Chains A and B, each alone.
Chain A
Amino acid sequence: MNQAESILSLRDVEKTFAGHCAVDGVSLDVARGEVVAVIGPSGSGKSTMLRCINLLEVPDRGTITVDGTDLDTSGTVSARDLTQLRRRVGMVFQSFNLFPHMTVLRNISLPQERVLGRSRDEADRRSMELLERVGLQQKADAYPAKCSGGQQQRVAIARALALDPEIMLFDEPTSALDPELGLEVLAVMRQLADTGMTMIVVTHEIHFAATVADRLIVMADGRILEQGPPQQVLDDPQHARTRTFLSAIKDR
């Protein structure tokens, strides 16, 4: 894949926590509109890598390029660059992290008003549009506590989308959910992939990875073990570690 068409690239990104190397020199290019699924055993560094992309974890070394803008992470990143980066990269968390003291609508509108400077009307209009897209317009005035986990996660997706990001990061978005609630979240993500959104999804949902992702990445020990088209990786894994990991989830 050549540099010109990639919207995101990581170069030799490294992150160490208290002597433990969580991400060990990862390089990665993602094309505009590509959907990348990342799997791997827990502790393999997949979440940390994802959090390095929007600098929730600041890497110790390496470069992150979003749509032509380089961020050298070994120095200090200015607040302006950080805001710029986060406007363009949306993130969805395992634990939803909605603001419990605000209604669903306020959760989605407030960041638009504060970060993009939209008026309240404008922001609310956009929020309602997105709520409709995730099928929750009737929940606009409810508080998060009155929504199921699946509904909260769909609201969280709408909240991230409201800032019109170019890339969406998903950090195990269904891991905290009962299976049937996970499905409604996956459906929203599938729909989002169909619209051409660039997505990086850390997940344990092999079926989602196989059917929606353009590329599957397997991580272990902070490195990319192998990657390729999902069917190929799943049917014909090259590494013994990949095989062990895949049989462990498939045989469950």
Chain B
Amino acid sequence: MKSAIFSDWAEWLPRLLDGLWVSVQVTGLSLIIGLAAGLLLALAAFARTRLLTWPAILLVEIGRGMPALVMLQLVYFGLPSVGLTLETYAAVVLALSLTTAAYTSEIIRAGLRAVPDGELEAADALGMSRGDVMRFVVIPQGLRIALPTLLGFAILIFQISSLAFSLGLPELLSQAYSIGAATFRYLDVLTLAGLLYLAVTIPAGWLVARFERRLSRHLTT
């Protein structure tokens, strides 16, 4: 019986790994696009003019306030009614990028705010321009402060990518579910899929924690 399970697992594994690869791809793409947009939003929210601050904060709050699942459905089913029809893959990447942008901009903004006021005053007293203060003092340090949280979020968005199942993207969960539907061995194949997710998220979590400890040691001594 036991060996039967393992032979089944071996038979399913290639398909599941294909799915995992899709999950990793959409996660990576969404992170690249979303982080860039998140940084821009954070800078806008950090700006001195309310004209930039308010729309940026509003967008971020909307993006963070709605479930990622709603974002996915909205992009996939909603955008066609305004004339923009996307393939599943592109829709998933766009939706996850939007979610990433909203969350990471908040994380980055917190990092930028954590740069001590005294350093900003010193830069002011040295006559540095606002742009220079951002470029040389605030952004490099703010991003470094935000980095561990951003990495933690990267793990989260990998988990969230499983929601793309609802749009039929052949990622890990979709593959597992369709094997389950074909074999009625839901428990076995879903457990295997769960283990594959864990094989990514748990070691990644350890690495982030270790990295965070190392970073805080470097900054405090």
Contacts and interface: CB of A to CB of B under 8 A. Distances in A.
Interface stretch (B62-70, B95-103, B118-126): B118-126
Contacts of B132: 114
Contacts of B137: 99
Contact of A97 (B119, B127, B140): B119
A101 B141 contact: yes
Contacts of B123: 99, 111
Given A110-B136, A111-B128, A97 B122 contact: yes
Interface string B206-219: 00000000000011
B128 A91 contact: no
Interface of A: 54, 56, 79, 82-83, 86-87, 90-91, 93, 95, 97-101, 110-111, 114-115, 145-146, 156, 159-160, 163
Contact of A114 (B122, B136, B144, B221): B136
B218 to A, nearest CB: 8
Contacts of B129: 79, 83, 114
Interface of B: 116, 118-119, 121-129, 132, 136-137, 140-141, 144, 218-221
Contacts of A160: 125-126
8 contacts: A86-B125, A93-B125, A97-B119, A99-B137, A110-B136, A114-B129, A146-B221, A156-B122
Contact of B126 (A79, A145, A159): A159
Q: Is the interface of B mostly helix, strand, loop or mixed?
A: helix
The 10 closest A-B pairs by CB, nearest first: A86-B127, A97-B122, A97-B118, A91-B125, A111-B126, A115-B127, A83-B127, A114-B132, A95-B118, A87-B127
A86 B219 contact: no
B184 to A, nearest CB: 57
Contacts of B221: 145-146
Contacts of A159: 126
Contacts of A95: 118
A56 B219 contact: no
A86 B119 contact: no
A179 B137 CA distance: 30
Nearest to B131: A114
B121 A163 contact: no
Contacts of A101: 140-141, 144
Contact of B219 (A91, A100, A110, A163): A100
Given A99-B137, A100-B141, A114-B136, A86 B124 contact: yes
A87 B123 CA distance: 12
Contacts of A146: 221
Contacts of A97: 116, 118-119, 121-122
A195 to B, nearest CB: 21
Contacts of B124: 56, 86
A90 B127 CA distance: 9
A160 B128 CA distance: 12
Contacts of B219: 100, 145
Contact of B125 (A54, A99, A110): A54
Contacts of B136: 99, 110, 114
A115 B128 contact: yes
A13 B212 CA distance: 48
A98 B116 CA distance: 10
Given A100-B219, A145-B219, A93 B126 contact: no
B118 A163 contact: no
